[in-house]
Amino acid sequence: MTEPEIFDVVVVGSGAAGAMAALRASDQGLSVLIVEKAQKFGGTSATSGGVMWIPNHNLNHEGDSRAQALEYLGSLCTDVGQHDRLEAYVDQAPEMLRYLTATGVKVIAANWPDYFPDKPGARADRSLICPTFDGRELGEQRYPLMREQYNRFKLFGRYAMDLTETFTLMARAKGWRSTAARILRRYWTDYDTRRISRRDRRFTQGAALMGQIYKQLFGRGIEPRLDTSLESLLTETNGRVTGIAVSNFGRTYEIHARHGVVLAAGGFEWNQELRDRFYKVPGLTRHSSTPEDGNRGEALIAGESIGASVEHTGQGWWIPTMNLPAPGASNFHEIHQAAFDVGRPHSVCVNRNGVRFVDEATGYDSFGQAMVEDQLKTGANTPCWLVFDATFRSKFSAGGLMPSIVTPDRKIPSDWWDHYVFRADTIDALAEKIKVPQDALKDTVSKMNEYARVGIDPEFGRGGNIYDRFFGDATVSPNPCLGPIEKPPFYAVPINNGDLGTKGGLRADARARVLDKDCEPIPNLYAAGNCSGNPFGSIYPGAGGTIGPALTFGYVAANDIAARAGNQRGTATQQGN
Ligand SMILES: Cc1cc2nc3c(=O)[nH]c(=O)nc-3n(C[C@H](O)[C@H](O)[C@H](O)COP(=O)(O)OP(=O)(O)OC[C@H]3O[C@@H](n4cnc5c(N)ncnc54)[C@H](O)[C@@H]3O)c2cc1C
């Protein structure tokens, strides 16, 4: 029998948390292997917007501080449980960023308001993005193996867009036509790449982040082992984790880890059983906007089977989504995020009683939390309805339904009507079609029209803070988030409580060590990213609030393993002496 392979560190999952853990561990002189279940590497992280929320990042010199970050988080995060983990985040995230940029990864500070802009300590400069990266720097064989970006982040599902281009096209802002033309021209005049692949060499957003990190990993000789899934954790009788058992095309084998196993296998959003177990309103796996072949909670299950505890598993990183069919596509391409659409003027969201339940322009996670609360209260939410008029329809997307200037009603396939998209000439007739009480919907719409006229939403304060207005329509006044819903025809699309992943997982401490039921670390076992409970509890503090912690606790885990490995080496030497 051949001896099992052995590495200093074995990392499960190739997303942001796993890639960072591997990179840092390698730079600490440890041998590393990443195993990845999917056929492509990069995880949800590569499909994402790639935004990182890093408080006190010091890229500019305008005075964020540890104290201000903790003031903001302290005012919000009342259910964190482990305050030292929250503090570790505030302390280690800037350290992680310094390390990351020192390796050559480029980042840019964005002016994105924190999601609770009225809370003390809030700022509008903690979110970071990455400049576009040339994917071919990864090598011709490798670059098409990075997971493709989320469909809506590519024009026509094919041409890469950076965040500015995405928002320009989404909102049909000034210059959107020339932006679209530039994107197409750039792709089709890249003759050299067109000869070898359909894949755009422009890696933007999450692909830019992960592309840059993988360039560093490849440069250090670390290649993710694809098609290789964690099956179980190997332990000694004293509970110390010694490695993992994996499967690869049906073949099962063991890989041993001298100093640590880092579980970075994402959340459990694609595991209906775990949703049913943990969530008050479970929702459906297929409403998630993450890749369907990825995160199914296997690492959480493996951890629990050796005595690990879990935390913050009651919620996803919520985002409103809607379905539109895409012939021949997987779920990933049928699900469309509607995060910013639900707060645009000339629209309103109602539950199935025809009643509003939220400031629709709030952050997407808060929107989802409001859906859950309303469902628990009324039983008439999840899904709710986005109702809008012809003015909205001409200007804005509604999930996957592009503005009428791009996709006029006559181009909508007949089977979509009254199934994915509902349309009627009056609010009464629309209410009848979507089975919402007519009087209630009419009353809601007429109140919204009055709020639009005066510019104030006395019920939920829509458009009342800088975050709301950030995604409003500057051409609409007095409130860029409120426009009358008055121009027929009227439309409605069902909105699901979708997600970007799950908020909770294995309980890990401030050093990313997985804890057992007595809150004792399980020797040699670490968790980071959505595989672990997030440091903020139920709160999504700002854009990048999931990737920031994923990178940070991947970094923290590697540092802790390296420190212990050093200690162990030191001890061995002393013993040897
Ligand atoms: C469209 C979209 C946009 C988003 N934009 C942002 C954003 O801009 N900023 C932000 O902070 N968050 C964003 N998110 C959320 C964010 O992408 C995730 O929360 C984050 O990437 C999770 O990182 P991770 O490393 O924990 O997991 P992932 O990146 O999902 O990586 C986990 C990896 O583990 C692998 N895996 C799973 N099970 C196993 C197994 N048994 N064995 C081996 N491997 C396994 C998976 O295949 C996957 O590759 C977005 C999400 C989506 C869908």
Position 526 pLDDT exceeds 80? yes
Measure 14 CA to ligand 1 centroid, in angstroms.
Answer: 9
- Say if residues 261 and 244 touch (Cβ distance below 8 Å): yes
Among 557, 555, 556, 535, which residue's Cα sits nearest to residue 546? 535
Task: For residue 69, name the pLDDT band (cuts at 50, 70, 90).
Answer: very high
Residue 572 has pLDDT above 50, yes or no: no
Side chain identity at 111, as an amino acid letter? N
The C-alpha atoms of residue 349 and residue 344 are separated, in whole angstroms, by: 11
Mean pLDDT of 316-335: 78
H helices of 339-414, in order, are: 364-378, 390-395
Q: Which atom of ligand 1 is nearest to the CA of 43?
A: 49
Quote the pLDDT of residue 328: 58
Confidence label for 573 from pLDDT (cuts 50, 70 and 90) = very low
Whose Cα sits closest to atom 36 in ligand 1? 265
**Residue range 535-547: average pLDDT?**
96
Residue 324's pLDDT is what?
87
Q: Which of 10, 23, 48, 149 to mutate to test the pocket of ligand 1 (most atoms within 8 A of CB)?
A: 48
**Distinct helix (H) and strand (E) counts, the chain:** 17, 22
Q: For residue 4, what pLDDT band results from cuts at 50, 70 and 90?
A: confident
Tens of pLDDT, residues 413-461:
998 999 899 999 999 999 999 999 999 999 999 999 999 999 999 999 9
CA of 45 to the centre of ligand 1 (A): 4
Q: Which residue has the higher pLDDT, 334 or 437?
A: 437
Cα 291 to ligand 1 centroid, rounded to whole Å: 9
User: For residues 47 and 148, is the Cβ–Cβ distance under 8 A?
Assistant: yes
Nearest-atom number in ligand 1 for the CA of 35 is 43
DSSP string, 12-67: E--SHHHHHHHHHHHHTT--EEEE-SSSSBSHHHHHS---EE-TT--SS-S---HH
What pLDDT was estimated at residue 577?
28
Atom of ligand 1 nearest to the CA of 288: 53
Stretch 464-485: mean pLDDT: 94
What lies within 8 Å, CB to CB, of 13 at 6+ separation is 34, 35, 36, 37, 43, 263, 264, 265, 266, 299, 529, 531
pLDDT score, position 16: 98
Atom of ligand 1 nearest to the CA of 500: 51
Return the best residue to mutate from 20, 45, 233 for the ligand 1 pocket (most ligand atoms within 8 A of CB): 45
Q: Measuring from each residue's beta carbon to the nearest atom of ligand 1, which residues come in under 6 Å?
A: 12-18, 35-38, 43-45, 47-51, 150, 229-230, 264-266, 289-290, 294-295, 298-299, 317, 500-501, 529-531, 544-547, 550
On the question of pLDDT at 130 being above 70, the answer is yes
| Ligand 1 atom with least separation from CA of 150 | 1
CA of 181 to the centre of ligand 1 (A): 31
Mean pLDDT across 170-191: 88
Q: Which residues, in sequence order, are bridge partners of residue 336? A: 322
Q: What is the atom index within ligand 1 of the atom nearest the CA of 546?
A: 11
Residue for token pair 């709710």: 384
- Give the distance (Å) from ligand 1 centre to CA of residue 530: 7
Tell whether the model's pLDDT for residue 250 goes beyond 60.
yes
Which residues, other chains included, contact 176 with Cβ-Cβ below 8 Å and sequence gap of 6+? 168, 169
Please give the pLDDT value at position 176: 86
* Structural domains in the chain, sorted by start: 5-38+51-129+227-266+503-572 (3.50.50.60), 320-499 (3.90.700.10)
Spatial contact of 47 and 152, defined as CB atoms under 8 Å apart: no
The confidence band for 169, taking pLDDT boundaries of 50, 70 and 90, is: confident
- Max intra-chain CA distance, the chain: 88
Measure 551 CA to ligand 1 centroid, in angstroms.
Answer: 11
Residue nearest to atom 30 of ligand 1 (CA): 44
pLDDT tens-digit series, residues 366-412: 999 999 999 999 999 999 999 999 999 999 999 989 899 888 999 99
Q: What residue type is 459 in one-letter code?
A: E
> What is the distance between the alpha carbons of residues 550 and 51, in angstroms, rounded to a whole number?
12
How confident is the model at residue 333, as a pLDDT?
57
Question: Hey, which of 546, 552, 553 would you mutate to test ligand 1's pocket, going by the most ligand atoms within 8 Å of its Cβ?
Answer: 546
User: Separation of 476 CA from ligand 1 center, angstroms?
Assistant: 36
Ligand 1 mean position, distance from CA 44 (Å) = 3
- Looking at per-residue pLDDT, the higher value among 370 and 164 belongs to 370
One-letter-per-residue 3-state SS of 65-111: CHHHHHHHHHHHCCCCCCHHHHHHHHHHHHHHHHHHHHCCCCCEECC
* Contact of 152 with 336, CB cutoff 8 Å: yes
Choosing from 33, 52, 114, 500 the residue with most ligand 1 atoms within 8 A of its CB, the one to mutate for a pocket test is 500
Distance linking the first and last C-alpha atoms of the chain: 35
Mean pLDDT of 130-150: 93
d(CA 500, CA 84): 26
Q: Tell me: pLDDT of 568 over 80.
A: no
174 CA from centroid of ligand 1 (Å)? 33
- The residues near 235 (Cβ < 8 Å, ≥ 6 apart) are 241, 242, 306
Pick left, alpha or beta for residue 243 (phi over 0 → left; psi -120 to 50 → alpha; otherwise beta): left
DSSP SS3 for 304: helix
| Residue bearing tokens 């009507």 | 417
Report CA(242)–ligand 1 centroid distance (Å): 25
Question: What is the number of the ligand 1 atom nearest to the C-alpha of 544?
Answer: 11
In the predicted structure, residue 327 carries a pLDDT above the cut 70: no
Rounded to the nearest integer, the mean pLDDT of the chain is 93
> What pLDDT, on a 0 to 100 scale, did the predictor assign at position 570?
45
- Measured in angstroms, how far is the CA atom of residue 548 from the centroid of ligand 1? 12
How many angstroms separate the alpha carbon of residue 432 from the centre of ligand 1?
40
Give the confidence band of 187 by pLDDT, cuts at 50, 70, 90.
Answer: very high
CA of 45, closest atom in ligand 1? 21
- Give me the mean pLDDT over the 509-522 stretch: 97
High-pLDDT (> 70) share of the chain, %: 96
**Which residue did the predictor score with more confidence, 176 or 108?**
108
CA of 196 to the centre of ligand 1 (A): 28
Helix axes 16-27, 547-576, angle to 10 degrees: 30
CB atoms within 10 A of CB 77: 19
Which range among 89-98, 294-303, 465-474, 543-552 shows the weakest confidence by mean pLDDT? 465-474
pLDDT above 60: residue 272 = yes
CA 45 to chain centre: 7
Place 241 in a pLDDT band, splitting at 50, 70 and 90. Answer: very high
Closest residue by Cα to residue 396 from 361, 425, 435, 431: 361
Minimum mean pLDDT range among 62-66, 103-107, 496-500, 527-531: 62-66
pLDDT band at 574 (very low <50, low <70, confident <90, very high): very low
Residue nearest to atom 16 of ligand 1 (CA): 45
Cα gap 357→349, rounded to integer Å = 8
